[in-house]
């Protein structure tokens, strides 16, 4: 597999940076598109062609305006994103939010961690969701 193409949408700049660092630590050649809003994420998603979709989409649940759940709903009917793992990474651990996102097509829902080691483990789990991606457990 060539380098990973990943879209991250989170309205918290620090969370966005921490996740980007963890991804690049695990897979330095990753190409990361970052959006600070749901609207920005949708703009990135509109740019992807059917043959050039990201390997992974990571969305924050609690973004103002267009939430991660809204994005799942909007792209859920688009065939080009059907095989792309869509992950929610949120501070919310509310069962209603988790079930809502999983029902709208999220592959997995993670609660934002409090330590770097926990974040690194979540990144490994995210990579494991990517079809055809080799295990990164040794990193």
The predicted model scores a pTM of 0.92
The domain total for the chain is 1
- Answer yes or no: is pLDDT of 135 > 70: no
pLDDT above 60 (res 107): yes
The pLDDT tens digits for 32-61 are 999 999 999 999 999 988 788 999 999 999
What pLDDT band is residue 136 in, cutting at 50, 70 and 90? Answer: very low
Which domain range does residue 110 map to? 5-128
What's 117's domain CATH number? 3.40.50.2300
pLDDT over 90 (residue 118): yes
The mean per-residue pLDDT over the stretch 69-79 comes to 93
Which DSSP string corresponds to 13-82? Answer: HHHHHHHHHHHHHH-TT-EEEEESSHHHHHHHHHH-BTTB--SEEEE-S--SSS-HHHHHHHHTT-GGGT
């Amino acid at each position: 597999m060539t380098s990973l193409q990943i879209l991250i949408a989170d309205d918290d700049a620090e969370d966005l940076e921490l996740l980007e660092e963890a991804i690049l630590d695990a897979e330095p050649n990753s190409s990361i598109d970052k959006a600070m809003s749901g609207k920005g994420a949708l703009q990135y998603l509109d740019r992807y062609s059917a043959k050039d979709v990201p390997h992974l989409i990571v969305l924050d649940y609690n973004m103002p305006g267009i939430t991660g759940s809204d994005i799942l709903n909007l792209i859920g009917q688009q065939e080009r994103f059907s095989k792309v793992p869509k992950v929610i990474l949120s501070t919310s651990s509310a069962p209603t939010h988790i079930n809502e996102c999983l029902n709208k097509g999220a592959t997995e829902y993670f609660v934002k961690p409090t330590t770097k080691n926990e974040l690194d483990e979540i990144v490994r789990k995210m990579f494991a969701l990517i079809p055809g991606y080799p295990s990164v457990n040794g990193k």
